[in-house]
Each structure stands twice: as C-alpha cells, then as structure tokens.
Amino acid sequence: MYLLVFYDICDKKRLYRVAKLLLEYGIRIQYSVFEMKIKQKDLRTLQKQIAHIINAEDKVHYYPLCIKDLKKRKADGQASVYFIPDYAIVS
C-alpha cells in the first residue's frame, strides 16, 4: 500500500525520533510529511513504534494513497515528485 504520513509533534526529541523512524520506511516530502510504500504488517509495526514515542499532545496522521492518484502527483516551485522504488536498500 502507498501511504502519506504527517505529524505535528510538540517535543523536539520525540519529533526527531519519529522522523528518524519514518526515514526507515519512506521518503521525506516536506519537513513533517513522508510518503511510503509499505506492507500492512509493516504499517502495524510502524504505528506501534510511533505510539511508543509520542504522547497525548502529539498528532500523527496516516493517509492511504491509491496508485491511480499517486501517478497524478505534481510539484511546484523547488519541490520534486519522488517515485518510491519497489525495493529498499538496508545497510
């Protein structure tokens, strides 16, 4: 599944931890917005990991993206449209 994840986290330490975690799963589109291709099982794992980091004042949103709409993405200004590969390089 393709997913858009964005957040509003009040504490810099928690924000850094969530951002670092999301970088393991996807591509940063904007400062607090990530796009990813993820399996349902991995999404549940990611959500549990994030739930252990954030607290009640923080917000994290998960929006599924259909492949048809994903292909219609556009970017203006200095933004770029990234294409998520079907594989990941783990070091």
- Give me the CATH number covering residue 59: 3.30.70.240
The answer to whether position 50 is within a domain reads yes
* CB proximity list for 11: less than 8 A, separation 6 or greater: 55, 58
Residue 77 domain-assigned (yes or no): no
Is the model's pTM score more than 0.85? Answer: no
**Is residue 78 a part of any domain in this protein?**
no
pLDDT at 73: 75
Residue 80 lies in a domain: no
- Give a yes or no: residue 81 inside a domain: no
Number of domains in the chain: 1
**What does the pLDDT look like over 5-35, one tens digit per residue?**
999 999 999 999 999 999 999 999 999 999 9
If one counts every other C-beta atom within 10 angstroms of the C-beta of residue 22, the result is: 23
Q: Residues 36-88: pLDDT tens digits?
A: 999 999 999 999 999 999 999 999 999 999 888 777 777 777 766 766 655 45
Per-residue model confidence (pLDDT) at position 71: 78
Q: So what's the pLDDT on residue 80?
A: 67
Q: Is residue 16 part of a domain?
A: yes
Residue 6 lies in a domain: yes
Which residues span the domain enclosing 41?
A: 2-67
Assess whether pLDDT exceeds 70 at residue 91: no
